Amino acid sequence: MAANDAGDTMPKPMFETAALVGTGVIGRSWSRVFVRGGCRVRLYDPDPEQAKRALRWFHEDVALDVREGLVTKDDEALWRDRVSAHADLREALTGAGYVQESGPERLDLKRAIYQTMDAAAEPDAILASSTSALDVNEFADRVKGGWRCITAHPVNPPHIVPLVEIQSSRVTKPEVQQKTVEFLAHCGQKPVVLKRYINGFLLNRIQAAVVREAFHLAESGVADAEAIDSVIKDGLALRWAFIGNFGANHLNAPEGIGQYFGRYADAYRSMIGDLNNEPPAFEKDMMSRIAREIGMGENEEDVKRMSQWRDRMIVRLKALKKDHPRP
């Protein structure tokens, strides 16, 4: 986050304490989201060493942002004191008003951890899941406190990309959804609410459609991976970043989206009719070819270096959007 987003004082939190259950790549990133919302953040993982690694990552990532001028030294000092790792689940959940679970995408494990969290958490704590594939109904129905269970599916990494997809279960109380949306917005996120469950939620379904066609274009020899990525990052994404897909459609004609598709509906029907190719095989040789063509290495250090660059570019884009709001 940018330093001017945080200010030099800690904002008043909606919840004094937030807990993270599962501290992998997604779980550890949530720590930065909640600490900038003014919370004390407790990290728990079934593997205590993983929780310690997540805490080290937190300190290193904040220090990197300080060096980049994105976070103030005062904020760094405040945040360091507010994040802690815990080996005991009940200890981590004690006093937490909001719990974010980021465990494996297996329904049996999700049901088990929710039953455990429901028994260990404060009676009125919200139990949110980072799941990207499972319907909250499938595990909330098995929990006595299912009324407080909800999906809060982030984009990786959530402390950089603000979108969070919210899905309530059949038994989630309306006030739980309302508080979740308010809390995440307070922490700098952009919550969107789904009216019902669909496989992949919104983001991954839209992403899957783009992934399928991008692979088809590369595998069938229409263009190399660099050209395909350029169409997105130097073309479509520049508009999408500010006005989205429907917004781009609307501004493509003087009188808006109705006029645009009035002119081009037949062309879109023809192209959409062509999008019947088989899903990609994701073969190893193809993955290596794509990595070469987009000029990115496949080793861990190369990926880490590019990920850090991506994160800081996104932070700067977010600042630009904030400073120049939609008219």
- Reported pTM: 0.92
For 195, residues 6+ apart whose C-beta sits below 8 A from its C-beta are none
Same fold, 3-193 and 202-295: no
The answer to whether the beta carbons of residues 163 and 187 sit under 8 Å apart is: no
Q: How far is CA 283 from the centre of its chain?
A: 27
CATH superfamily of 3-193: NAD(P)-binding Rossmann-like Domain (3.40.50.720)
**What residue ranges do the domains of the chain occupy?**
3-193, 202-295
Backbone torsions φ then ψ of 153, nearest 5 degrees = -85, 115
For 202-295, which CATH class? mainly alpha
For the chain, 327 residues long, give each residue's pLDDT as a single digit of tens: 443 344 445 778 899 999 999 999 999 999 999 999 999 999 999 999 999 999 999 999 999 999 999 999 999 999 999 999 999 999 999 999 999 999 999 999 999 999 999 999 999 999 999 999 999 999 998 899 999 999 999 999 999 999 999 999 999 999 999 999 999 999 999 999 999 999 999 999 999 999 999 999 999 999 999 999 999 999 999 999 999 999 999 999 999 999 999 999 999 999 999 998 889 999 999 999 999 999 998 999 999 999 999 999 999 999 999 999 999
State the CB neighbour count (10 A cutoff) for residue 261. 16
Token pair, residue 107, equals 């329904």
Structure-block tokens of residue 322: 């904030």
Q: In what order do the strands lie in the sheet with 98-101?
A: 83-86, 40-44, 17-21, 98-101, 126-129, 149-154, 163-168, 190-193
